[in-house]
Amino acid sequence: MRAFRVRSRDDEDDALSQTSFYLEPVDGQPLAPYRAGQFLTFQFELPDAQGAVRPVTRCYSLSDRHDPQAYRITVKRIPPPRDRPDLPPGLVSNHFHDRVAPGAILQVRAPGGAFVLDDDASVPAVLIAGGVGITPLFAMARAALSAKPDRALHLFYGVRDSRELVFEADLLAMEQQHPNFHLTCVQSAPLPGEREADRYHAVGFIDVALLRRILPHGQHHFYVCGPPPMMASLVPALRDWGVAGDAVHYEAFGPASIESAEQVSATPLETPIDVHFANSARTLSWTGQDTNLLDFAERHGIAVDSGCRSGSCGTCETAVTSGDVRYAQPPSFDVARGHCLLCVGVPTRDLVLQA
């Protein structure tokens, strides 16, 4: 972890729910470079709803191309779920919005993540963002337009209405300056009086029908980042449309929600698997009821550090003494030999973990 000072913050949308934070290293040394699409991991000590102070880890994508002076992240304030207004709002995002002011010091791990644009400028890239999922894709678009301005780039950006749009002025400027950059803004519930082609190009959700209508015929590489319902429908739909698996890249901002992940993991087993947590001196029976080893450990009261819960940040990386762990998809975090990620892993045979 390295200490960063917040240089400034900017509200990015009319709804005042998405705010950018510019971060400079306290030690004054150069910033670690990153590839557009990567994220930072933050560690806080915050009181939970019961008032107990505990460590919390969260990831936030770098939301612009690399700037040697400062990192930028853009955080959306997360309210309680619509059907559970009694629950506390999102812990870290609200902390950022309400308490992280210029001058604040934050503990940050170096940029990481494998959700980055390929280098093949001959194949057009299609970036598909839902809501705050724009952050890594905006960074990718900015980096690609400056490094490879001849590459065709299509950005599909879905929001509820214009109050949720971020980076709008930059996106419109990019469209004007780069004939190869094509922006399609999609709003699911546009505000009355806002004309089509003014602040949006289509009404509804981003789906394969829209992509077919807008994209030229031919091969594309797809990059998708958005809320769970969008990821859960669009990623399998791209594959059903015939897009090759290795041409579909995605990042989930929370528990992985892609259909294949659930199909592989939540399968009841005829013969349970023994999972021994050596540090806690407990052996538990894995019956296939849980989606991953992290949920399994937490359900049984075994405390494990965790962050992204989607195989990206590595906070739950745990040494495996014996046995095997399998993933529905390879995690984007580079897991050390002899270790596993609990948040996206399931056991395939009896397992001993250093947790």
Ligand X SMILES: Cc1cc2nc3c(=O)[nH]c(=O)nc-3n(C[C@H](O)[C@H](O)[C@H](O)COP(=O)(O)OP(=O)(O)OC[C@H]3O[C@@H](n4cnc5c(N)ncnc54)[C@H](O)[C@@H]3O)c2cc1C
Positions in the binding site for ligand X (CB under 6 A)? 39, 58-61, 63, 73-76, 78, 80-81, 87-94, 113, 132, 135, 251, 253-254, 308, 310, 312
**Are residues 38 and 62 in contact, defined by beta-carbon separation less than 8 angstroms?**
yes
CA 4 to CA 109: how far, in whole Å? 10
CB 219, min distance to ligand X, A: 27
CB 253, min distance to ligand X, A: 4
CB 309, min distance to ligand X, A: 7
Helix (H) or strand (E) holding 74: strand 71-76
**Is 55 or 179 the residue whose CB approaches ligand X more closely?**
55
**Is 87 or 203 the residue whose CB approaches ligand X more closely?**
87
**Token match 């538990």: residue?**
284
CB 217, min distance to ligand X, A: 33
CB 7, min distance to ligand X, A: 18
CA 30 to CA 18: how far, in whole Å? 27
**Token match 């670690």: residue?**
32
Nearest residue to ligand X, scored by beta-carbon proximity: 90
**Is 9 or 178 the residue whose CB approaches ligand X more closely?**
9
**Is 104 or 215 the residue whose CB approaches ligand X more closely?**
104
* DSSP string of 3-71, one letter each residue: EEEEEEEEE-STTS-EEEEEEEETT-PPPPP--TT-EEEEEEEEE-TTS-EEEEEEEEEB-SS--SS-E
**Is 80 or 330 the residue whose CB approaches ligand X more closely?**
80
Structure tokens belonging to residue 81: 């779920």
